[in-house]
């Protein structure tokens, strides 16, 4: 399952099927997948940081990924750990 309320983050709703894991996400009846920005996961960027840099809304499909909730939490925890261990 996926939620349509997340779709403003993609530049064109018709491109949603090009987002990684889309087919698996829509066909999964056991949980609601989260549409996510790759950079938030990779670099631990916050929602506010992305909005400030104008990279939150209207993304290309390759900038996004569908994640299972459990994977979403795990990746954020890993990103936080990396960010906190980085010297300033
Ligand atoms: Zn997240």
The parent domain of residue 55 ranges over 4-85
Question: 10 C-alpha vs ligand 1 centroid, how far in Å?
Answer: 15
pTM of the predicted model as reported, rounded to 2 decimal places = 0.84
Question: 88 C-alpha vs ligand 1 centroid, how far in Å?
Answer: 23
pLDDT in tens, 2-54: 987 767 788 888 999 999 999 999 999 999 999 999 988 887 788 888 888 88
- Residue 88 has what pLDDT? 60
Q: How far apart are CA 44 and CA 27, in angstroms?
A: 28
**Could you give the number of structural domains in the chain?**
1
Q: How far apart are CA 1 and CA 18, in angstroms?
A: 16
Question: 76 C-alpha vs ligand 1 centroid, how far in Å?
Answer: 6
7 Cβ partners below 8 Å, 6+ apart?
Answer: 13, 16, 35
């Amino acid at each position: 399952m996926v939620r349509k309320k997340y779709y403003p983050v993609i530049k064109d709703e018709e491109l949603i099927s090009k987002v990684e894991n889309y087919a698996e996400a829509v066909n999964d009846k056991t949980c609601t997948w989260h549409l996510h920005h790759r950079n938030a996961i990779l670099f631990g960027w916050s929602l506010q940081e992305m909005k400030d840099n104008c990279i939150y809304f209207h993304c290309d499909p390759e900038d996004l990924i569908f994640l299972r909730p459990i994977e979403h939490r795990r990746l954020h925890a890993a990103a936080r750990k990396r960010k906190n261990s980085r010297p300033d």
